Amino acid sequence: MSKESLFLGAFLSDMLDRQRRAVINEAREVGSVSTNLTRENLIIKLTHQFRLDPPILDESKISKNMVEETIDVRGTAHSFLYDQTHARVNVVKYRVPFTGESIFFSLRPSTYSMAPPNAEVYESYFILSYPILGGKQPADIKQEFDRDMDTIRVSLTRQHADVKPFMDGLPSLIESELDKGNKNVIDKQKFLDDL
Protein backbone atom coordinates (compact mmCIF):
# COMPACT_ATOMS: atom_id res chain seq x y z
CA MET A 1 0.00 0.00 0.00
CA SER A 2 1.25 3.50 -0.73
CA LYS A 3 1.64 6.32 1.75
CA GLU A 4 -1.01 8.98 1.83
CA SER A 5 -1.39 12.27 3.64
CA LEU A 6 -3.84 11.68 6.46
CA PHE A 7 -7.00 13.76 6.86
CA LEU A 8 -6.61 15.67 3.56
CA GLY A 9 -9.20 13.97 1.33
CA ALA A 10 -12.87 14.88 1.05
CA PHE A 11 -14.46 16.93 3.80
CA LEU A 12 -16.10 14.90 6.55
CA SER A 13 -19.03 17.34 6.50
CA ASP A 14 -19.75 16.39 2.87
CA MET A 15 -19.74 12.71 3.79
CA LEU A 16 -22.11 13.41 6.69
CA ASP A 17 -24.48 15.24 4.31
CA ARG A 18 -24.44 12.27 1.90
CA GLN A 19 -25.04 9.88 4.79
CA ARG A 20 -27.95 12.01 6.04
CA ARG A 21 -29.55 11.97 2.57
CA ALA A 22 -29.07 8.19 2.36
CA VAL A 23 -30.75 7.78 5.77
CA ILE A 24 -33.69 9.94 4.66
CA ASN A 25 -34.16 8.02 1.41
CA GLU A 26 -33.88 4.61 3.05
CA ALA A 27 -36.16 5.46 5.99
CA ARG A 28 -38.84 6.92 3.71
CA GLU A 29 -38.65 3.91 1.42
CA VAL A 30 -38.85 1.44 4.31
CA GLY A 31 -41.62 3.51 5.90
CA SER A 32 -43.68 3.24 2.74
CA VAL A 33 -43.73 -0.58 2.66
CA SER A 34 -45.01 -3.08 5.16
CA THR A 35 -42.42 -5.02 7.11
CA ASN A 36 -42.46 -7.73 9.75
CA LEU A 37 -40.22 -5.64 12.05
CA THR A 38 -41.65 -3.56 14.85
CA ARG A 39 -41.12 0.18 14.57
CA GLU A 40 -38.53 0.12 17.37
CA ASN A 41 -36.62 -2.75 15.73
CA LEU A 42 -36.72 -0.94 12.40
CA ILE A 43 -35.20 2.17 13.98
CA ILE A 44 -32.50 0.04 15.64
CA LYS A 45 -31.78 -1.77 12.36
CA LEU A 46 -31.44 1.46 10.35
CA THR A 47 -29.40 3.15 13.10
CA HIS A 48 -26.97 0.23 12.99
CA GLN A 49 -26.93 0.26 9.16
CA PHE A 50 -26.00 3.95 8.98
CA ARG A 51 -23.73 4.04 12.03
CA LEU A 52 -20.40 5.87 11.59
CA ASP A 53 -17.36 4.77 13.61
CA PRO A 54 -14.38 7.13 13.51
CA PRO A 55 -11.18 5.33 14.52
CA ILE A 56 -10.12 4.87 18.12
CA LEU A 57 -6.40 4.25 18.50
CA ASP A 58 -5.19 1.28 20.54
CA GLU A 59 -1.92 2.85 21.65
CA SER A 60 -1.15 0.03 24.09
CA LYS A 61 -0.51 -2.25 21.08
CA ILE A 62 1.77 0.00 19.02
CA SER A 63 4.72 -1.97 17.67
CA LYS A 64 7.85 -0.93 15.81
CA ASN A 65 10.52 -2.51 13.66
CA MET A 66 13.35 -1.48 11.36
CA VAL A 67 13.61 -2.52 7.71
CA GLU A 68 15.90 -1.62 4.87
CA GLU A 69 14.11 0.08 1.97
CA THR A 70 14.89 2.00 -1.17
CA ILE A 71 13.46 5.49 -0.82
CA ASP A 72 13.35 8.60 -2.98
CA VAL A 73 15.80 11.01 -1.35
CA ARG A 74 15.07 13.99 -3.60
CA GLY A 75 12.42 15.34 -1.26
CA THR A 76 14.54 15.04 1.87
CA ALA A 77 16.79 17.57 3.54
CA HIS A 78 19.65 15.10 3.17
CA SER A 79 19.44 14.57 -0.59
CA PHE A 80 22.84 16.20 -1.09
CA LEU A 81 24.45 13.21 0.68
CA TYR A 82 23.46 10.83 -2.11
CA ASP A 83 24.64 10.79 -5.72
CA GLN A 84 21.40 9.27 -6.98
CA THR A 85 17.70 9.99 -6.62
CA HIS A 86 17.04 6.81 -4.62
CA ALA A 87 19.03 5.28 -1.78
CA ARG A 88 18.83 2.14 0.31
CA VAL A 89 18.38 3.18 3.95
CA ASN A 90 17.08 1.83 7.25
CA VAL A 91 13.51 2.84 8.02
CA VAL A 92 11.81 2.68 11.42
CA LYS A 93 8.16 1.65 11.06
CA TYR A 94 5.53 2.09 13.74
CA ARG A 95 2.39 -0.06 13.41
CA VAL A 96 -0.55 1.66 15.15
CA PRO A 97 -3.72 -0.45 15.55
CA PHE A 98 -7.20 1.05 15.78
CA THR A 99 -10.85 0.11 15.84
CA GLY A 100 -13.42 1.88 13.68
CA GLU A 101 -13.57 2.70 10.00
CA SER A 102 -10.28 3.31 8.19
CA ILE A 103 -11.96 5.64 5.64
CA PHE A 104 -11.89 8.39 8.28
CA PHE A 105 -8.11 8.73 7.87
CA SER A 106 -8.75 10.19 4.42
CA LEU A 107 -11.51 12.60 5.54
CA ARG A 108 -10.92 16.20 6.65
CA PRO A 109 -12.45 17.16 9.98
CA SER A 110 -14.04 20.59 10.45
CA THR A 111 -10.62 21.98 11.40
CA TYR A 112 -7.48 20.27 10.20
CA SER A 113 -3.71 20.52 9.78
CA MET A 114 -2.32 21.45 6.37
CA ALA A 115 0.80 19.43 7.20
CA PRO A 116 -0.52 16.08 8.42
CA PRO A 117 1.64 12.98 8.66
CA ASN A 118 1.84 10.44 5.84
CA ALA A 119 0.95 6.83 6.58
CA GLU A 120 0.06 3.53 4.98
CA VAL A 121 -3.53 2.88 6.10
CA TYR A 122 -4.96 -0.62 6.35
CA GLU A 123 -8.27 -2.00 7.64
CA SER A 124 -7.32 -2.09 11.32
CA TYR A 125 -3.92 -0.37 11.57
CA PHE A 126 -1.69 2.23 9.94
CA ILE A 127 2.07 2.43 9.54
CA LEU A 128 4.16 5.54 10.12
CA SER A 129 7.64 5.32 8.55
CA TYR A 130 10.78 7.28 9.45
CA PRO A 131 13.92 6.88 7.31
CA ILE A 132 17.20 7.14 9.18
CA LEU A 133 19.03 9.81 7.21
CA GLY A 134 21.87 12.17 8.07
CA GLY A 135 22.77 10.60 11.40
CA LYS A 136 19.32 10.66 12.96
CA GLN A 137 19.33 9.29 16.48
CA PRO A 138 16.60 7.25 18.21
CA ALA A 139 15.48 10.37 20.12
CA ASP A 140 14.98 12.21 16.81
CA ILE A 141 12.80 9.41 15.43
CA LYS A 142 10.81 9.22 18.68
CA GLN A 143 10.25 12.99 18.60
CA GLU A 144 8.94 12.84 15.00
CA PHE A 145 6.68 9.92 15.88
CA ASP A 146 5.29 11.70 18.97
CA ARG A 147 4.61 14.85 16.94
CA ASP A 148 2.79 12.84 14.23
CA MET A 149 0.76 10.95 16.83
CA ASP A 150 -0.26 14.23 18.48
CA THR A 151 -1.51 15.50 15.10
CA ILE A 152 -3.41 12.25 14.50
CA ARG A 153 -4.99 12.32 17.98
CA VAL A 154 -6.16 15.92 17.51
CA SER A 155 -7.64 15.14 14.07
CA LEU A 156 -9.45 12.06 15.36
CA THR A 157 -10.81 14.01 18.34
CA ARG A 158 -12.19 16.61 15.93
CA GLN A 159 -13.73 13.90 13.76
CA HIS A 160 -15.44 12.32 16.76
CA ALA A 161 -16.82 15.77 17.67
CA ASP A 162 -18.04 16.27 14.06
CA VAL A 163 -19.75 12.85 13.93
CA LYS A 164 -21.35 12.95 17.40
CA PRO A 165 -24.29 15.25 16.53
CA PHE A 166 -25.12 13.08 13.50
CA MET A 167 -25.03 9.88 15.54
CA ASP A 168 -26.95 11.41 18.46
CA GLY A 169 -29.70 12.59 16.11
CA LEU A 170 -29.81 9.47 13.93
CA PRO A 171 -32.62 7.57 15.74
CA SER A 172 -34.93 10.62 15.76
CA LEU A 173 -34.11 11.39 12.09
CA ILE A 174 -34.98 7.80 11.15
CA GLU A 175 -38.21 7.92 13.16
CA SER A 176 -39.25 11.19 11.53
CA GLU A 177 -38.49 9.93 8.02
CA LEU A 178 -40.31 6.63 8.65
CA ASP A 179 -43.36 8.71 9.56
CA LYS A 180 -43.04 10.70 6.32
CA GLY A 181 -42.79 7.50 4.28
CA ASN A 182 -45.78 6.05 6.08
CA LYS A 183 -47.77 9.30 5.69
CA ASN A 184 -47.04 9.26 1.96
CA VAL A 185 -48.58 5.77 1.70
CA ILE A 186 -51.62 6.85 3.73
CA ASP A 187 -52.08 9.98 1.59
CA LYS A 188 -51.90 7.94 -1.62
CA GLN A 189 -54.41 5.42 -0.29
CA LYS A 190 -56.74 8.22 0.83
CA PHE A 191 -56.49 9.80 -2.63
CA LEU A 192 -57.36 6.48 -4.26
CA ASP A 193 -60.25 5.95 -1.83
CA ASP A 194 -61.65 9.38 -2.73
CA LEU A 195 -61.78 8.51 -6.44
Q: What is the pLDDT of residues 96-132, one digit of tens each?
A: 999 999 999 999 999 888 889 999 999 999 999 999 9
Residue 18: its H or E element: helix 12-31
Q: What is the pLDDT of residues 18-70, one digit of tens each?
A: 999 999 999 888 876 666 778 888 899 999 999 999 999 999 999 999 999 88
Domain residues for the domain of 37 are 4-188
pTM of the model: 0.82
Q: Which of 146, 115, 3, 123 is nearest to 53 (CA)?
A: 123
Tell me whether residue 195 is in a domain. Answer: no
Buried-exposed string 12-50: b where 16+ CB fall within 10 A, e elsewhere? beebbeebeeebbebbbebbbeeeeeeeeebbeebbeeb
Tell me whether residue 179 is in a domain. Answer: yes
Tell me whether residue 194 is in a domain. Answer: no
Could you give the number of structural domains in the chain? 1
- With bands split at pLDDT 50, 70 and 90, how would you rate the model's confidence at 185? low
Tell me whether residue 193 is in a domain. Answer: no
Q: What's the rounded Cα separation, in Å, for the pair 38 and 15?
A: 29
